[in-house]
Amino acid sequence: MVKLNENFLNLKESYLFSEIAKRVNAFIAENPDKSVIRLGIGDVTLPLADMVIKNLHDAVDEMSKAETFKGYGPEQGYDFLRDAIKQYYKRNKVELDIDEIFVSDGAKSDTGNITDLFSLDNTVMVPDPVYPVYVDTNTMNGRKIIYMDATAENNFLPLPDSNVHADIIYLCSPNNPTGAVYNREDLKKWVDYALDNNSIILFDSAYECFISDETLPRSIYEIEDAKKCAIEFCSLSKTAGFTGTRCGYTIVPKSLKFKVSDKTEISVNKMWLRRQTTKFNGVAYIIQRAAAAVFSEDGIKEAKKMINIYRENAKIISQTMEKKNIRYFGGINSPYIWFECPNKMESWEFFDYMLNKIAVVGTPGAGFGKNGQNFFRLTSFNNKENTIEAMKRFEQI
């Protein structure tokens, strides 16, 4: 008889976005005349840049001719894209070898798939609040998960505790949902902790493109020795509006090696290559062509223009928080504004209050963990007009 993976029974019901939709739909049914503004989504709203569209079209044309048609490509990505990513990292003074770069269909898949490389008896450490993928993928495998508290007291940037041991550490900076960003000094503390504990850091930099403060690290490899202890995940989803187009990349340095039970050293890069070539057949050529355009000189400029529009929205939201004297985090180097619910309200209570009073939708912090109980997330992924109107209404609460 087939035996199912009963670890699935340990997954918490993922009801955050369905519950939001349910409450919003009920509100709309009762108030058909009210215009609801959604500032809760983590999805981009601007269309793909002209340059990306042009490259998509050109690549489609290539697929239509026998001379330029492409079948299976390299599982780890075409060299033209890996080289473009290598050059992109050089801008932050990070030198990568092309075979340390693995192209994928996004950071969500890779942050989940990477768990294939690790034994089930590792202890995993995640922040609370957290991007749920880290928790759910490890729960599916049955690994022990411990939580580190991210709170207003530590600016939602927990630091390592030498009395607590973890083998696998997930860090996300700029953070979803809190918008908090590690500085170099604090990220170095994590690198030192990982090196001291023979641990690995899984660094999610999906929002690196929002960092405008040049003193903040956009890649963990800007920190000395991080190549000995960290894997980095990134994505074109937020960088260039690829949430529906799907393309990301994972960096697995060749110097990332760990001893196994027979005392030999194993290369994590080789393991990931083996994993990907076994279970993955690469990203579509057409998409990789479009992705490579993003990293060209003009592509970076176009992407920046889009990001600046979201940044402007984030600023509008942040300014409203300041006006209302509400404690908030993020909003500067991040598309997310994470704020304390007024009057000590609980986050779902505030969700209902805001929806009913001003018809604005956000995301209750409780959906990301216990430390989000009294916090709320607004996002800059909407147009300027709606953002201004939502904040005008917000000033009245």
- How many residues touch ligand PLP (CB under 6 A)? 13
CB of 131 to ligand PLP, least distance (A): 4
Interacting span for ligand PLP (CB under 6 A) from 81-89, 100-108, 224-232, 305-313: 100-108
User: Pattern of binders to ligand PLP over 308-347, x per CB under 6 A?
Assistant: ----------------------------------------
Beta strands across the sheet bearing 200-204: 101-104, 248-251, 230-235, 200-204, 168-172, 123-128, 144-149
Query: Smaller CB distance to ligand PLP: residue 242 or 285?
Result: 242
CB of 106 to ligand PLP, least distance (A): 3
- At residue 75, what are phi and psi to the nearest 5 degrees? -60, -35
Interacting span for ligand PLP (CB under 6 A) from 103-111, 217-225, 260-268, 361-369: 103-111
Q: Does 42 bind ligand PLP (CB under 6 A)?
A: yes
Q: Does 176 bind ligand PLP (CB under 6 A)?
A: yes
- Pick from 179, 241, 248, 369: which binds ligand PLP (CB under 6 A)? 248
CB of 76 to ligand PLP, least distance (A): 17
Q: Does 243 bind ligand PLP (CB under 6 A)?
A: yes
Q: Does 172 bind ligand PLP (CB under 6 A)?
A: yes
- Pick from 106, 330, 364, 369: which binds ligand PLP (CB under 6 A)? 106
Q: Give the residue at shortest CB distance from ligand PLP.
A: 106
Q: Does 108 bind ligand PLP (CB under 6 A)?
A: yes
- Pick from 107, 114, 268, 293: which binds ligand PLP (CB under 6 A)? 107
User: Footprint of ligand PLP on residues 206-235 (CB under 6 A)?
Assistant: 206, 235
Cα gap 135→115, rounded to integer Å: 11
- Pairing state between β 336-340 and 375-379: antiparallel
- Pick from 167, 204, 302, 340: which binds ligand PLP (CB under 6 A)? 204
Cα gap 289→77, rounded to integer Å: 11
Query: Smaller CB distance to ligand PLP: residue 172 or 252?
Result: 172
Query: Smaller CB distance to ligand PLP: residue 204 or 232?
Result: 204
Query: What angle (nearest 5°) sits at the alpha carbon of residue 312, between those of residues 35 and 236?
Result: 95
- At residue 191, what are phi and psi to the nearest 5 degrees? -65, -45
CB of 23 to ligand PLP, least distance (A): 21
Footprint of ligand PLP on this chain (CB under 6 A)? 42, 106-108, 131, 172, 176, 204, 206, 235, 237, 243, 248
